[in-house]
Structure 1
């Protein structure tokens, strides 16, 4: 595009007193922007009007030197056809620096150089940016929603979507709607005063579905094939019916933990009177509790156990309390025991616990060891350690022992195999890849036609999460959302809320695809990766490393991008060794040029330069908050925001070091079992790639200590100055970069 550029420098928030604006004007003009204007408060109505007036007069590329790009976004939004680049002079030059570097005059000089570098980098970014053009699907975008699973979550997701006017296809594998809700005798109290058991209410829900003309129901049906991408999924069902939809909600519910695996610990299978909580619910549903004189419930049967289910299933305690109350209702004289490690009753379920106590249920807190169960004369006996009495107790003459087994997601577990392309151990990679393929081939809910496999990627417990803190419902397949107990263990009221949230997110995803913009976390981003295919070497790095399955391959291994699946993280850009992938407003060339625009003082000036490539999701907010909190750090550090650490191309490190930069740090989100990375694999991939940087450093004859990766959560504000200070000490120890001046 032909750019008419202008720069606006703000003197507010103390910037006018701290910086030499005449010097900054010269810096901007030398960077190629001829028009530079000052204002005492650019975010004020007068300041915004100043810029808007120039935009109306033809300016279409605006550089603003003021506060962080994370604030005042509405004020500095001049429409989709105007490129706006922000230089963070307040947070990253003024607030974080202080007069402690060889006196006031020297400190002022360092701060001035800091501000000047940020303007240079921002000017380069402005020059290299172009207005993104939203991706448009070839076919008319589809906004209908498919919901797979007709239990409480699936039904409520369908009803919620239909209320917005969205067409819904509800697919249930059983012959009737209801899922496990249809098998429940009663619900634990869900409404004040949380003491009376409640009816499941399934009939009313099904009636609502049947009466809604926006919902088409398929029962006794599964998904045979799901092709396409958000806004253009084509679904084929068993039986041959097919339809297009814009997004999908998977609400396939849960499976009970296999009690057969508890044969050694809890004698399951040795007596027909040792049953699971699911069996107990069936007895209650059938009205088969009246003849019970003594019942014991054993909690955490296989849950919170590293040999079985390591996690708590959240609802088992409440379910056992409900079933204990049902036994008491059937026979008030029955002896009912609950043997537990910890009673966990989230929310208002504490009242259920109190009501069970009032009804005479006896609670025995056991230790980590499972109770010993034996049978004699058709009756069962339990021996366990009572932690309250600190003594062994024996309970005999039991008619029934109920094992509170946990919940597993009704979803195939997908093994994440390490990538051979990343240089990991070949044999280990092949073994895990084989496990991954076996897991995917065994069964599938959606039968996705993705190069990366037919199933949703999962966490280690088979839950199809993406970012479990910031983006509930989201899976690693854009436009596909998980709701209810397939996402995490939860009770009925939580599943209803979950279903509504997932349905609304799915509708947003379908509409975003129709508009050609991204969904979370870069909501509304109109850019998407573009491939210079003439230079592609078919290395498969982009297809293998994309966290979202946004890139398929043709028969010759050429990448086939699916832009509506893309989250715009740039991981493919960082992966590509040929650097053929770029965005209109984010590219390898852009960041590399920004790094090269930093002025590097001569060695004898003893002013080292360090570049920090900072993730915009966690690290950049932490940096801003640290500055506003009053933290100070070296004025020799320059921050460059990146979309994700996974988007970092190794050439940037080489560019920085070969241009005389003394050190490079990468600030990104945490990764691992409890990862925080907004793009799933970005931080992990960056760590793997950085482990290979030694090759580049060896080639340049530089120390490995000059490059460091740091994981930072957005709330770890106080760590920022500590990390920088420690790294600057390291740089001082290894000495100046020998490439200064070249």
Structure 2
């Protein structure tokens, strides 16, 4: 193949004379017109005229120009417009380079004219060196499924399923229980309207039942997940129901002959037969048999079933589902209140959890099948202890955010059912955010509801079964004792067992509280595994409406993998296998677990999973991984082109490698705000601080640059999870290398910069310059 000789057009946009005032543009044009590979170099005062763009298009079509270097301040919209305009000629959009002299402080007052001129020339020389080796790139289209797997058929999963099905996406809804609805199906009432949650659930289930795009997999679990976003393969194992979902019409005849009663789902729930409707909600309608409880050889249900739906020979089955994305909505569990020993949960029948209180309220008016079960009748004084095990370093250190409102809702409904009862709320703080404050006001005004700002140290039960609760009343400034008929503990929300299982199967990171990890500030739907999203209270404690909102956001983000194809932007990493020693550092350190082994044992990025952050490029000890359009070679030629003496002999020159998300924008803001930014720094924008390879830093110092500043996000704010941490992690390797070069490791500095840290950026530069002056010039500087 013949070597391509670049034909570069350089165009300096002197908008309103902004650049010609601080620097001599004519001398720059004269200098770069003679530069290698430059076909055309000129100043443009009126950029957006048809005549100018006609001349560019003619230059491309006549093969006089095959790539462009634009000098000046261009907005993202203007860049996109220019690339789009010239793409009509067949010019690849990746054959444009941009250098903003204003961002680099050229126009700031107080800098000597000769320094401005030298710095402008150095910046243009760097950009020209990169432009010479730009390559045309094209996106890749990968085939993808239009189906999604939703794990968990609670309120969050059901609403996400309905929205996706309405868009024509195939939905596989996997639920480990025999029925759907999750915790919400166990509630007595919703707040703030105090309405029956089954109404909303039935409404959404009716839509799902009518859809041709939804398939329910109850009594099922995801056992394995392989493949990539757009092309996942899920292995789903289904337990036997022992009843045909097709034949059963839920007539209930089987329950009339079943001889075996088993405990209900909660201590306050009715007992049920070994064959019973699905729980927590009877959807699908087919009954389920708890076969392990059946008497030996009993087949009474099979004999009486008029639909011949009972099949006692059913066995476990396994199914493979090809899906484009996965949405995890595995909900929450209540904290095990038996661990909060001082409150007596599990020792006394009339001490129950807030979730059990929901069941007790739901059972009002229904006949109890067991005389020992709790009921509302006879309750005269009821206590509610808030934060039972929450906001407590021994148990859950966090607030679950919903418990106060849930308690107030329960009191309002309980008072509606038993108007003469007295209620006592023992609390640290009442937290009812937003419109939920109305619940607090209504509860206080409902009568016979007392709020006591103290939590009992201990609960005891007397001989009559009354619960003796002693607290310090801060208003009376003395201890008071209540004799209660029932005590309700507001247990906090913790990750469900299903969440823990999903984390293991799907290899999802979890935060210190074992909820799924995500970048809550910017990408709350993320699971840190591309193509796998989280929604609802498996992400963090939240109420029902927040769970629905959360799952919808996740569903929207998943759509990109459900369109039949997945578009991969061409700026993905490439591994040079001829130099790779298979050390696996890239596989171990990739924040998104994007690397896999190819058929020859070399690491290869799974392009559908890759976020193109560049951390693999930064971590590679042999520098054999590069991001397309931001390669190590392209950065190296920029660094080689820097005039290390543009500041003169006494002033140090700094190479600033700044994360494009935060640090670069802070530096730009410092210029825009007119701060006194030292001219010593030459900025190169990088995708992430973690993408900076130690080899580039060492090269910069070996070429005579006095100091290298790497700036990225704070550790817990990085959009790519741990880019900044990876820089610091490999700082030891860099220090050792610099010592062998007889260069002070202190010449390299890493700092955290947030997007509005303009003043901090200036302060960092000033301190750094002072320190570098103390060290003296780089010994490699010529």
* TM-score class, shorter: 0.7 to 0.9
1:384 aligned residue? 471
- Tell me, what secondary structure is at the counterpart of 1:118? helix
Q: Which of 92, 98, 101 is the aligned partner of 1:81?
A: 92
Equivalent residue runs for 1:481-560 within 5 Å:
481-511=533-563, 514-517=565-568, 525-553=569-597, 558-560=602-604
CA drift of 1:196 comes to: 6.9
The Cα shift of 1:370 comes to 5.6
Contact 2:710 / 2:751 at 8 angstroms: preserved in 1? Answer: yes
| Cα shift at 1:362 | 3.6
Give the Cα separation in 1 of the matches to 2:54 and 2:218. 59
**Deviation (angstroms), 1:179:** 0.9
Measured after TM superposition, the shift of residue 584 of structure 1 is 2.3
Partners of 1:458 and 1:234 lie apart in 2 by 23
CA distance in 2, matches of 1:320, 1:116: 69
Q: Distance in 2 between matches of 1:592 and 1:21?
A: 27
- CA gap 1:108/1:395 in 2 versus in 1, 3 angstroms: farther
Change (3 A) 1:619 1:289: farther
Mapped partners of 1:486, 1:536: distance in 2: 40
Pair 23,604 (structure 1): closer, same or farther in 2 beyond 3 Å: closer
Report the equivalent of 1:427.
Answer: none
Equivalent residue number for residue 39 of structure 2? 34
Contact 1:465 1:473 survives alignment (8 Å): no
What's the TM-score, normalizing by structure 2? 0.82
- In structure 2, do the counterparts of structure 1 residues 601 and 54 end up closer, same or farther at CA, with 3 Å as the change threshold? same
Q: Residue 523 of structure 2 corresponds to which residue in structure 1?
A: 471
Q: Matches of 2:130 and 2:472 in 1, distance apart?
A: 68
Other-structure match for 1:445 = 502
Change (3 A) 1:366 1:127: farther
The answer to whether structure 1 residue 698 and structure 2 residue 697 are counterparts is: no
Alignment of 1:120-139 (within 5 A): 120-137=125-142
Q: CA deviation at 1:603?
A: 9.2
Q: CA deviation at 1:640?
A: 0.6
In the TM superposition, residue 33 of structure 1 has moved relative to its aligned partner by 2.6
Q: The residue matched to 2:502 in structure 1 has which SS?
A: coil
Contact 2:575/2:604 (CA < 8 Å) preserved in 1? no
Secondary structure of residue in 2 paired with 1:592: helix
Q: Does 1:67 find its partner at 2:67?
A: no
Instruction: Tell me if 1:624 matches 2:668.
Output: yes
Higher mean alpha-carbon deviation, 576-585 vs 31-40, is at 31-40
Q: Kindly state the Cα deviation for residue 252 of structure 1 after the two structures are TM-superposed.
A: 0.8
The residue aligned with 1:6 is 9
The 1-side partners of 2:574 and 2:321 are apart by: 30
Tell me the distance in 2 between the aligned counterparts of 1:144 and 1:621: 39
Relative distance call for 1:271 and 1:136 in structure 2 (3 A) is same
Distance 1:592 1:395, change over 3 A: farther
Partner residue of 1:329 out of 394, 408, 416: 416
Contact persistence 2:187–2:355 (CA under 8 A) = no
Q: 2-side partners of 1:308 and 1:66: how far apart? A: 58
Pair 1:257 & 2:335 matched? yes
CA contact (8 A) 1:43 1:72 kept: no
Kept in 2: contact 1:411–1:486 (CA 8 A): no
Q: What is the CA deviation profile of residues 152-203 of structure 1, one whole-angstrom value per residue up to 9, with x for unaligned ones?
A: 110111111122221211111111121111111110115xxxx777765211
What is the CA-CA distance between 1:364 and the residue it aligns to?
3.5
Moved more, 124-133 or 584-593: 124-133
Q: 1:314 matched to which residue of 2?
A: 401
Distance 2:641 2:199 in 1: 66
For each residue in 1:674-728, what CA deviation from the matched residue of structure 2 results, as whole angstroms up to 9, or x when unmatched? x110000111111111243221221122223211111111132331211111111
User: Structure 1 residues 208 and 736, CA, compared in 2 at 3 Å: closer, same or farther?
Assistant: same
Aligned to 1:610: 654
In the alignment, what sits opposite 2:719? 678
Looking at structure 2, the residues matched to 627 and 602 of structure 1 have their Cα atoms a distance apart, in angstroms, of: 20
CA contact (8 A) 1:189 1:198 kept: no
CA distance in structure 1 between the partners assigned to 2:566 and 2:54 by the alignment? 29
Q: Is the 8 A contact 2:230 2:566 kept in 1?
A: no
Q: Look up the match of 2:489.
A: 403
Are residues 608 and 120 of structure 1, via their aligned partners in 2, closer, same or farther at CA, if it must alter by over 3 Å?
same
Matches within 5 A, 1:557-706: 558-601=602-645, 605-671=649-715, 675-706=716-747
CA distance, structure 2, for counterparts of residue 60 and residue 324 of structure 1: 74
Name the CA distance, whole Å, in 1 between partners of 2:49 and 2:439.
Answer: 55
Q: Compare 201-210 and 23-32 and name the one that shifted more.
A: 23-32
How far, CA to CA, are the matches of 2:503 and 2:451 in structure 1? 44
Q: Is 1:268 equivalent to 2:345 in the alignment?
A: yes
| Equivalent in the alignment of 1:416 | none
Partner of 2:104: 92
Of residues 343, 360, 365, the one that matches 1:283 is: 360
TM-superposed deviation, 1:92: 1.9
2: CA distance, partners of 1:482 / 1:408 = 15
Shift of residue 729, structure 1, vs aligned partner: 1.3
**What is residue 321 of structure 2 aligned with on the other side?**
243
Q: Which moved more, 1:50-59 or 1:398-407?
A: 50-59
1:348 — aligned with what? Answer: 435
- 1:20 paired with 2:72, answer no
**Cα distance in 1 for residues equivalent to 2:221 and 2:147:** 18
Distance 1:196 1:255 in 2: 23
Give the Å deviation of 1:326. Answer: 1.9
Q: Which residue does the alignment assign to 2:216?
A: 217
Decide whether aligned partners of structure 1 residues 255 and 125 sit closer, same or farther in structure 2, where only a CA change above 3 A counts: farther
Matched with 1:520 is: none
Output the TM-score relative to the length of structure 1: 0.86
Do the aligned residues in 2 keep the contact of 1:185 with 1:282 (CA within 8 Å)? yes
Is residue 129–residue 638 contact of structure 2 (8 Å, CA) maintained in 1? yes
CA displacement at 1:555 relative to structure 2: 8.8
- Counting only pairs closer than 5 Å after superposition, residues 167-206 of structure 1 correspond to structure 2 as 167-189=170-192, 201-206=200-205
Looking at structure 2, the residues matched to 536 and 12 of structure 1 have their Cα atoms a distance apart, in angstroms, of 47
User: Within 1, Cα distance between the matches of 2:480 and 2:50?
Assistant: 78
Which one of 110, 114, 121 corresponds to residue 119 of structure 2? 114
Q: Which stretch of structure 1 is more off in the superposition, 110-119 or 595-604?
A: 595-604
In the alignment, the residues of structure 1 paired with residue 476 and residue 114 of structure 2 have an alpha-carbon distance, to the nearest angstrom, of 71
Indicate if the aligned counterparts of 2:535 and 2:550 stay in contact, CA closer than 8 A. yes
Query: Alignment partner of 1:357: what SS?
Result: helix
Summarize the Cα distance change of 1:109–1:167 in structure 2 as closer, same or farther, 3 Å threshold.
Answer: same
Structure 2 unmatched runs, 5+ = 238-316, 365-374
- Counterpart CA distance in 1 for 2:174 and 2:644 is 62
Shift of 1:602: 8.1
Deviations 1:42-65 (A, max 9, x none): 467776666556455554422111
SS in structure 2 of the partner of residue 457 of structure 1: coil
2:274 aligns to what?
Answer: none
Query: Displacement of 1:481 after TM fit?
Result: 0.6
- Cα distance between partner residues in 2 of 1:559 and 1:586: 20
Alignment RMSD (CA, Å): 2.5
What is the SS of the residue equivalent to 1:683?
helix
Q: Is the 8 A contact 1:68 1:91 kept in 2?
A: no
Contact 1:152/1:181 (8 A) holds in 2:
yes
